């Protein structure tokens, strides 16, 4: 393990002292590919003799969505969990009060949202320091991440946490790279781009592929992609998660300082202790989770507005709806009647592939 960590440090040091220009793009791309492989090796699940992920981290996923609280120690994550869910998570003025993962449930707009209070991470978590492996592994399973920042501490903490999460393959507020990578049996590396590309060329693409022992593949770019984007696609293990930066303890800063923080993208100011703007945070969580409420209507009766079926806006076909209720429902399915803004007629008769 120490050898792998030393290799990671050596590559990071070499990348830091290498100037970024067209002449070094090939070399930097190769280093980034090596770094990604080493981190994957370092953060791979432990073998049988190495123990599990740690007590309290194997939390069963429940509800309609999962949201994780991530941040440095003593920034107010436990207070937020207590105020939003009513679940008790120990709060104290010293660091590392929470040593395990504490789950709670928020009921909002008919949806049950599981909220996880994760232990504070430390710098170097992506390299296995502290309990970083368990914390960030759990964060990967979340539908949305709340990075909790302390308003009275340096805003540079934001970038440090982003670096830890990105090092573990979590891409915050990003879409998957719009490029195609397809392995083939022969023909070498075929590189094409539909736009002018300033970051990648054929030599860099070949070098990155060679590091992964890939000698025959088609690579097609549809935008000005970087070496990191290509590595992400080759690795295939990246997760793309919406993220909200929750700046806590705003009651301890001036209005001028708050106006400066207001320029941050994806930002929500709160005071968990005084319960300021918690409603605004809940509204933002709902928006970032992108959930849709579907109400059922028993035949000959009024719609049931008390217990909606919650679907992700990315998976809201009639088939997804049926599967959400019971997997055997599709076996007897013939058609569905749909009311609402998405229906052309009221009701509209649809099949299982139609969107709701």
Q: What confidence score (pLDDT) does residue 64 get? A: 94
Q: Which of 265, 43, 65, 56 is nearest to 170 (CA)?
A: 43
pLDDT for residue 55:
38
* 179 contacts 234 by C-beta, under 8 angstroms: no
Q: Which residues lie below 8 Å from residue 8, measured CB to CB, with a gap of 6+?
A: 35, 38, 39, 42, 127
pLDDT at 88: 67
- Look over the chain and give the mean of its residue pLDDT values, rounded to a whole number: 86
Neighbours of 22 (CB within 10 A): 10
Give the C-alpha separation, 214 to 183, whole Å. Answer: 8
Q: Which candidate, 179, 117, 185, places its Cα nearest to that of 146?
A: 117
Question: Helix H segments across 113-171?
Answer: 132-140, 156-167
Torsion over CA of 210, 215, 218 and 224, rounded to 10 degrees? 10
Model pLDDT, residue 309: 93
Q: Are strands 239-241 and 170-172 parallel, antiparallel or unpaired?
A: parallel
Regions of the chain short of the pLDDT cut 50? 48-56, 92-96
């Amino acid at each position: 393990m120490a050898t792998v960590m030393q290799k990671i440090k050596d590559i990071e040091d070499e990348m830091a002292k290498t100037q970024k220009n067209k002449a070094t793009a090939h070399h930097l791309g190769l280093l980034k590919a090596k770094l990604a492989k080493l981190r994957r090796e370092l953060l791979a699940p432990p073998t049988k003799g190495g123990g599990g992920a740690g007590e309290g981290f194997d939390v069963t996923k429940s509800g309609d969505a999962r949201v994780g609280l991530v941040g440095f120690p003593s920034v107010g994550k436990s207070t937020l969990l207590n105020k939003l869910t009513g679940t008790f998570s120990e709060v104290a003025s010293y660091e590392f009060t929470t040593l395990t993962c504490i789950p709670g449930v928020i009921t909002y707009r008919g949806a049950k949202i599981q909220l996880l209070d994760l232990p504070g991470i430390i710098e170097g978590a992506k390299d296995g320091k502290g309990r970083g492996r368990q914390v960030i592994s759990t964060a990967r399973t979340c539908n949305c991440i709340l990075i909790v920042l302390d308003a009275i501490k340096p805003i540079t903490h934001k970038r440090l946490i982003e670096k830890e999460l990105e090092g573990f393959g979590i891409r915050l507020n990003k879409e998957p790279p719009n490029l195609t990578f397809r392995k083939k049996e022969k023909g070498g590396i075929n590189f094409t781009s539909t736009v002018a590309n300033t970051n990648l060329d054929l030599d860099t693409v070949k070098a990155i592929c060679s590091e992964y022992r890939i000698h025959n593949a088609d690579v097609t770019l549809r935008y000005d992609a970087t070496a990191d984007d290509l590595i992400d696609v080759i690795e295939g293990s990246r997760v793309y998660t919406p993220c909200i930066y929750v700046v806590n303890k705003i009651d301890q800063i001036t209005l001028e300082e708050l106006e400066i923080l207001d320029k941050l993208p994806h930002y929500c100011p709160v005071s968990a202790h005084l319960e300021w703007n918690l409603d605004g945070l809940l509204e933002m969580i709902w928006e970032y989770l992108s959930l849709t409420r579907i109400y059922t209507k028993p035949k000959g009766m009024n719609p049931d507005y008390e217990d909606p079926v919650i679907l992700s806006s990315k998976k809201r076909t009639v088939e997804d709806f049926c599967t959400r209720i019971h997997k055997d429902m599709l076996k007897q399915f013939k058609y569905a009647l749909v009311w609402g803004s998405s229906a052309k007629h009221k009701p509209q008769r649809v099949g299982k592939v139609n969107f709701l």
